[in-house]
Chain A
Amino acid sequence: MSKYKHKQGKSNASNLKAQIRQWWWLFLLPVVAAFLIGFVWPFIQGIYLSFCSFKTTSDATLIGFGNYGRALSDPTFVHSFWYSALFAVTSLIFINIPAFAVAYALTQDIKFSNLYRTVFFMPNLIGGIVLGYIWSMIFDGILSHYNTSILLNSTYGFWGLIILICWQQIGYMMIIYIAGLQAIPTDMLEAAEIDGATKAQTLFRVIIPNVMPSITICMFLSITNGFKLFDQNLALTAGQPFIMNPDGTTIKTTEMLALNIFNTFYNSNAASRGTAQAKAVLFFILVAAIGLVQLQFTRKREVQQ
């Protein structure tokens, strides 16, 4: 009887499968068509063009690795890479420590914690361009009293962007940490209390090891968000202030990677588009590599648990 049922179930499943497959043009085709237009074709063409000299997509001629050489020897690109890296690491610290602290405080069964959570998360919904404009008004409102501006001093530009990104993302990371903290079994915390563990001991020996998965996610999110940042960077300083090098190149001191690629594509010199596309491929490799490391990290942890 059970054998018969099993067989029947299997044939039903394969029957269903065959039936669905007949409707591929309705279920699968629309997404595949849009995906080819919106991702696959531009991606392949992007890889191809990075080996070409071109002004528009139709006048491309293959030139080999020249674009990559030019990209890597471009001082503005190198500057924007290190600037982005410094920004990513700094923002990682300044976002995650407060986010964890707030999440920890909000899970201590205190009054108004829902209201506080609502407030902390709110800036996350505002777009990067609008955020940049709001904060440039605030910073200049303060700095104008000292006869300066966020556009005139690259140190202010850096920390200004850090403050902006903290305001936007602390609430987001807080949500992930709260989910992690709430998943800790209460009997584990009770056991620690019965054993006479102090609050600090419970935090470092019980709580933090248990939320490690959330910490990993948030750290990688901050790093990738830092490297990929564009809108906020454009709206707050757009790379200003600029420094002229003796050799004639202009370094945009607060320009990050994504903005550097954008500026290389859409500056007045259309001949630099090949270099821009090569930069974009290198940027993709960097972001994908961070993603792969993250995958490795989370997999390892799964095995351990």
Chain B
Amino acid sequence: MKSSQRSKTTLSVVLGIICIIYVLPMVVVVLNSFKLNTYVKTDTFAIPTGEMWAGFSNFTKGMTFGNYPFAASAGYSVLITVVSTALILLFTSMAAWFIARVDDKVSRIVYYLCVFSMVVPFQMVMFTLSKTADTLKLNTPWTIPVVYLGFGAGLAIFMFVGFVKSIPLEIEEAAAIDGAGPVKTFFLVVLPMLKPTLISVGILEIMWVWNDYLLPYLVLDRTKYMTIPIHIQFLKGSYGTVDLGATMALILLSIIPVIVFYLLCQKHIIKGVAAGAVKG
């Protein structure tokens, strides 16, 4: 018994060391965002002391770096992520309820098309989708959520339909007998019951849209709008080689909200991600 206790402690220590190695890349980002640019390449792993110390100059420089304000990219990223996720949650949960309850030919076709869309890689539709979005003026941060709703509907519908089918019909029938119409039944009775799936789908969509690079890169009018991933890639292509320190400062700024979000709702995130593993 004692030896098993000791081996458990050893295991814990070994894992602890691996964990420290695991966070090192993040530590390197933090170190270099406070380091003067000339030292980032030569002394990547050094602690920025003395002459290497850049203070917050990398951050102030990074904000206006590349002739495009980083604050604008961050703002558009937030706008697109919030609106797209809200649209997807509202409309796909409504459609999923319709599909699961009405269950006629049309809803079955829609459902199977949605399942099918989950195995289609983005490259298959990227050229035609960006042209269609352009024609329909879906190329702004205010309208691109429609594209996200369309391309992202598959997984969300799939997850919601699965959950709605597990809800006993009696509850909705009782509401119908009490005189509630379908709209009232859905919003007051069904939607509250969908809460766990709403959280899982919401997490998956937030992570997808926030980190997505190629779709907004192709769909948005890039002369006017950027998101954080587009901004970072743009800097890497041009200014990033010029000023690595400032770019690292921007990377740090873009990671911090993600980490905070993760630490705040870790349980839900891990559950949501595991639920989405079906996508493949």
Binding site for B on A (CB under 8 A): 9, 12-13, 15-17, 19-24, 26-28, 30-32, 34-43, 45-46, 49, 56-57, 102, 105-106, 108-113, 115-130, 133-138, 140-142, 144, 167, 172, 175-176, 179, 217, 220-221, 224, 228, 230-231, 234-235, 258, 261-262, 265, 273, 276-277, 280-281, 283-284, 287-288, 291, 294
Contact = CB atoms under 8 A, between A and B. Distances in A.
Contacts of A13: 169, 173
B100 to A, nearest CB: 10
Given A37-B147, A57-B127, A138-B28, 18 more contacts: A30-B149, A38-B147, A39-B120, A43-B125, A102-B18, A126-B255, A127-B229, A130-B229, A133-B236, A133-B240, A133-B247, A134-B28, A137-B244, A172-B273, A262-B214, A277-B127, A284-B121, A294-B280
B242 interface: no
Contact of B95 (A32, A56, A135, A167): A32
A283 B124 contact: yes
B9 interface: yes
A37 B146 CA distance: 9
Contact of B98 (A27, A121, A128): A27
A19 B123 CA distance: 40
A267 to B, nearest CB: 13
B131 A127 contact: no
Nearest to B151: A38
Interface in B129-170: 129, 131-133, 136, 138, 146-154, 157, 169-170
Contacts of B248: 137
Given A27-B98, A120-B19, A129 B229 contact: yes
B169 to A, nearest CB: 6
B129 A42 contact: yes
Given A9-B173, A28-B110, A35-B114, A281 B266 contact: no
Interface in B107-124: 107, 110, 113-114, 117, 119-121, 123-124
Q: At the interface, is chain B mostly helix, strand, loop or mixed?
A: helix
Most chain B beta-carbon contacts within 10 A, residue among A12, A26, A141, A265: A141
Given A19-B181, A112-B12, A125-B207, A34 B91 contact: yes
Given A121-B270, A175-B274, A137 B44 contact: yes
A151 B117 CA distance: 35
B246 interface: no
B29 interface: yes
B104 interface: yes
Nearest to B219: A38
B91 A30 contact: yes
B42 A144 contact: yes
A53 B123 CA distance: 18
Q: How many B residues are at the interface, by size bracket?
A: 35 or more
A39 B125 contact: yes
Given A36-B150, A235-B233, A287 B119 contact: yes
Given A28-B99, A141-B41, A235-B233, A38 B182 contact: no
A16 B104 contact: no
8 contacts: A16-B101, A20-B97, A35-B113, A37-B146, A42-B132, A46-B124, A122-B262, A235-B233
A26 B184 CA distance: 13
Most chain A beta-carbon contacts within 10 A, residue among B102, B151, B248, B266: B102
B128 interface: yes
